């Protein structure tokens, strides 16, 4: 079957209608979804009644899953499901000043999931279980479209650069103690290729975000100036797709070329529960691109 696609933005993103993932899909249909993922970078499927098992099963069609999730730093869990939530395991809503809720405010910065890992993520799949009636949206931008807009001299300048991504650096913007010493040992700084190429389409993008700290071999001031310039070129208001969550939404995005950030909501007033699976990349970006 041909996918029922509705484009979400002039540069990227598509909504897919008419598919019920909970009932399973065949290989041919998945190949169409995978092609759409590589071409559109962000896919939205509404009305998906997924539980954790069905979400994991579908996510694994894209590749092996990461198992160390954001909950690791807070609860010690190691699971393919990451809870992006202000609700604890017993169903109790946590106050906005709770340590776990404050930790998640790091998601309000433009970032690519797992760019701080030696093998950065391929895809994230976020399933909406409970959403607030206002706030808590997620914004997406395409670093592929941003790269295409760069002048040729800047493309040439950045083509062979390597960026050091550092989780402790990004979470340090929240507070100095956002990352425990034990967790810090698990996430040492890593090098990532600045310009990456999609192996299916051949399209290039740059790869920055909140975890991107320094350009390898460059002074800090020049590094920060270039990284911030590239981020700002990607996140102009007209380049943003804003997703307003509905229960049952599944959003899939390509971490190789997409930046995203959560938007605030009143965590003292509303509950928000989203479950995320993250698909590991093919290998270190310095090797796999």
- SS3 category, 188: coil
pLDDT at 69: 46
pLDDT at 71: 43
pLDDT digits (tens, 9 = 90+) for 117-173: 999 999 999 999 999 999 999 999 999 999 999 999 999 999 999 999 999 898 887
Q: Are 77 and 71 in contact (CB under 8 A)?
A: yes
pLDDT at 187: 86
Q: Are strands 14-17 and 42-45 parallel, antiparallel or unpaired?
A: parallel
Q: Are 249 and 55 in contact (CB under 8 A)?
A: no
Beta-sheet strand order (sheet of 162-165): 190-193, 162-165, 212-215
Sequence-ordered strand ranges (E) for the chain: 4-7, 14-17, 42-45, 82-85, 121-130, 138-142, 162-165, 190-193, 195-197, 204-206, 212-215, 241-243, 250-254, 258-262, 273-280
pLDDT digits (tens, 9 = 90+) for 260-289: 999 999 999 999 999 999 999 999 999 988
What is the rounded CA–CA span in Å between residue 108 and residue 37? 24
Going by the DSSP 8-state scheme, the letter that residue 237 receives in this structure is G
pLDDT at 102: 79
Residue 134 exposed, middle or buried by CB count within 10 Å (0-12, 13-18, 19+): exposed
pLDDT at 73: 43
What is the rounded CA–CA span in Å between residue 103 and residue 71? 10
DSSP per residue over 133-150, as a string? SSS--EEEEEHHHHHHHS
Largest CA distance in the chain: 55
pLDDT at 72: 43
pLDDT digits (tens, 9 = 90+) for 202-243: 999 999 999 999 999 999 999 999 999 999 999 999 999 999
pLDDT digits (tens, 9 = 90+) for 21-80: 998 899 999 999 999 999 999 999 999 999 999 999 999 999 999 985 444 445 556 779
pLDDT digits (tens, 9 = 90+) for 86-118: 999 889 999 888 988 877 877 899 999 999 999
Q: What percent of the chain has pLDDT over 90?
A: 79
pLDDT at 231: 98
- Domain 4-282 bears CATH identifier 3.60.130.10: yes
- SS3 category, 164: strand
pLDDT at 106: 79
End-to-end CA distance of the chain: 32
Residue among 218, 211, 229, 212 at smallest CA distance from 146: 229
What is the rounded CA–CA span in Å between residue 61 and residue 58? 5
pLDDT digits (tens, 9 = 90+) for 168-189: 898 887 777 667 777 778 889 9
Greater confidence (248 vs 75) lies with 248
């Amino acid at each position: 079957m041909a996918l029922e696609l509705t484009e979400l933005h002039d540069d990227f993103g598509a909504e897919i209608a008419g598919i019920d993932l909970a009932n399973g899909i065949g290989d041919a249909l998945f190949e169409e979804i995978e092609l759409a993922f590589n071409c559109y970078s962000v896919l939205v499927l509404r009305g998906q009644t997924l539980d954790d098992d069905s979400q994991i099963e579908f996510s694994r069609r894209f590749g092996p899953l990461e198992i160390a999730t954001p909950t690791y730093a807070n609860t010690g869990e190691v699971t393919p499901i990451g809870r992006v939530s202000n609700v604890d395991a017993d169903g109790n809503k946590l106050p906005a000043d709770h340590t776990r809720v404050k930790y998640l405010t790091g998601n309000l910065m433009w970032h690519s999931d797992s760019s701080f890992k030696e093998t950065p993520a391929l895809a994230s799949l976020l399933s909406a279980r409970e959403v607030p009636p206002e706030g808590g949206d997620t914004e997406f931008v395409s670093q592929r479209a941003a790269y295409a807009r760069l002048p040729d001299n800047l493309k040439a300048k950045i083509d062979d650069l390597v960026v050091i991504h550092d989780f402790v650096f990004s979470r340090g913007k929240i507070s100095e103690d956002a990352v425990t010493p034990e967790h810090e040992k698990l996430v040492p700084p890593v090098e990532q290729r600045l310009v990456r190429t999609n192996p299916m389409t051949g399209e290039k993008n740059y790869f920055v975000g909140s975890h991107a700290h320094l350009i390898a071999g460059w002074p800090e001031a020049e590094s920060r100036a270039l990284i911030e310039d590239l981020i700002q070129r990607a996140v102009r208001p007209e380049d943003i797709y804003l997703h307003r969550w509905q229960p049952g939404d599944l959003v899939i995005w390509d971490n190789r070329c997409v930046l995203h950030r959560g938007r605030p909501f009143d965590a003292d007033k509303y509950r928000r529960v989203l479950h995320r699976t993250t698909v590991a990349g093919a290998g270190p970006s310095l090797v796999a691109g």
